[in-house]
């Protein structure tokens, strides 16, 4: 099934990308893991077996342009894209001394220090540096039926690193069918740094699995996913499936060291059932320390351009 082109718009004036992108302008349980124990291919196979879509593989007719030529051009444009229409201020990443050289030699800049995804990416990179130094890292996914007074997270032993990013808006709405989307500022640069550190990206949405082709195309057009990226798309598998169950399934195969979402329930569904959010006060330390409240990566454009831009920049 051929996909139709989607216009992705951002806040600053930037060169257009080739292919179907009409315009791509930015919006503003504890465990230890040894790097010699990691079997990335096994983890990937088990993720796909659980129903996740491997974005390194073509989904339907996601390829942009004949023989992938336009996709290659888009990738090059994304590498040079600042996300702000100008020079990028590199975010400072506070690292242990032993890890500084490793990060400096391997990783690309996270992006602007005022990017809403800078803290999210920095936390993940710090965990990657800890792993490289032979230290333990922690998952940020709570175990099933967690005791919120003594919260525990899923074990990380033997698992490759990953981050999870929620694609859905708190307010709901079918963003997948939008003709034009805003792309949030700073995320594409953050993703480049994470992938350079061999951190996989897991995209979560309550959209049905039948929408996988279109969503994969949207992520590619936005510069959030490229051929060869170790990324997964985890959508509603039908029946009584829940996003929380997909989080647990992902955490069984990957050590999820950071999560980004625009709603507290994007980190654990218990927030959907609390009458008083203060009832989970023991979890507040997770925010900014593995859980990051961020804007949604892609937001449907509206006719009220001024209100939309202020909302996204703020």
Domain boundaries, the chain: 7-313
Token duo for residue 194:
């994470």
Q: Domain 7-313 belongs to what topology?
A: Rossmann fold (3.40.50)
What phi, psi does 47 have (nearest 5°)? -65, -45
pLDDT in the model for residue 62: 35
pLDDT in the model for residue 59: 55
For residues 296 and 284, what is the distance between their CA atoms, to the nearest angstrom? 21
User: What average pLDDT does the chain have?
Assistant: 73
pLDDT in the model for residue 266: 95
Determine contact, residues 219/235, Cβ cutoff 8 Å.
no
CB within 8 A of 76, min separation 6: which ones?
Answer: none
The strand pair at 298-300 and 180-184 is best described as antiparallel
- The closest of 122, 246, 271 to 190, measured between CA atoms, is 122
pLDDT in tens, the chain (314 residues): 444 445 555 432 222 222 232 222 233 333 444 454 688 899 999 999 999 999 987 654 333 333 333 333 333 333 322 232 222 233 344 555 555 544 443 444 455 567 899 999 999 999 999 998 888 899 999 999 888 888 899 999 889 999 999 999 988 778 898 888 888 889 999 999 999 999 999 999 999 999 999 999 999 999 998 777 789 999 999 999 999 999 999 999 999 999 999 999 999 988 888 777 666 788 889 999 999 999 999 988 775 543 444 444 32
Determine contact, residues 1/303, Cβ cutoff 8 Å.
no
Residue with tokens 């993940």: 124
pLDDT of 111-131, one tens digit each? 556 789 999 999 999 999 999
Q: Measuring CA to CA, how many Å separate 42 from each of 48, 126, 235?
A: 10, 25, 21
């Amino acid at each position: 099934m051929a996909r139709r082109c989607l216009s992705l718009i951002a806040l600053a004036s930037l060169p257009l990308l080739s292919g179907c992108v009409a315009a791509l302008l930015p919006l503003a349980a504890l465990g230890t893991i040894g790097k010699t124990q990691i079997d990335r291919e096994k983890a990937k196979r088990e993720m796909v077996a659980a129903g996740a879509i491997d974005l390194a593989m073509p989904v339907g007719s996601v390829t942009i342009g004949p023989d992938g030529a336009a996709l290659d051009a888009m990738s090059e444009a994304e590498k040079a894209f600042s996300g702000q229409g100008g020079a990028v201020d590199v975010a400072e990443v506070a690292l242990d001394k032993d890890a500084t050289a490793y990060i400096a030699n391997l990783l690309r800049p996270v992006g602007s220090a005022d990017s809403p995804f800078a803290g999210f990416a920095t936390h993940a990179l710090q965990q990657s540096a800890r792993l490289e130094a032979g230290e333990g890292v922690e998952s940020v996914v709570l175990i099933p039926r967690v005791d919120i007074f003594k919260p525990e997270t899923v074990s990380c032993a033997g698992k490759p690193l990953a981050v999870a990013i929620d694609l859905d808006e708190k307010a709901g709405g079918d963003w997948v069918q939008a003709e034009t989307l805003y792309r949030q500022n700073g995320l594409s640069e953050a993703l480049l740094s994470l992938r350079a550190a061999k951190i996989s990206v897991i995209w979560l949405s309550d959209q049905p699995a039948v929408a996988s082709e279109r969503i994969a195309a949207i992520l590619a057009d936005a510069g959030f996913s490229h051929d060869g990226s170790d990324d997964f798309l985890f959508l509603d598998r039908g029946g009584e499936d829940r996003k929380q169950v997909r989080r647990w399934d992902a955490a069984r195969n990957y050590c999820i060291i950071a999560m980004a979402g625009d709603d507290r329930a994007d980190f654990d569904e218990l927030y959907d059932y609390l009458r008083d959010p203060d009832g989970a006060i023991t979890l507040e330390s997770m925010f900014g320390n593995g859980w990051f409240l961020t804007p949604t990566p892609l937001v449907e454009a509206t006719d009220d351009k001024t209100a939309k831009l202020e909302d996204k920049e703020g």
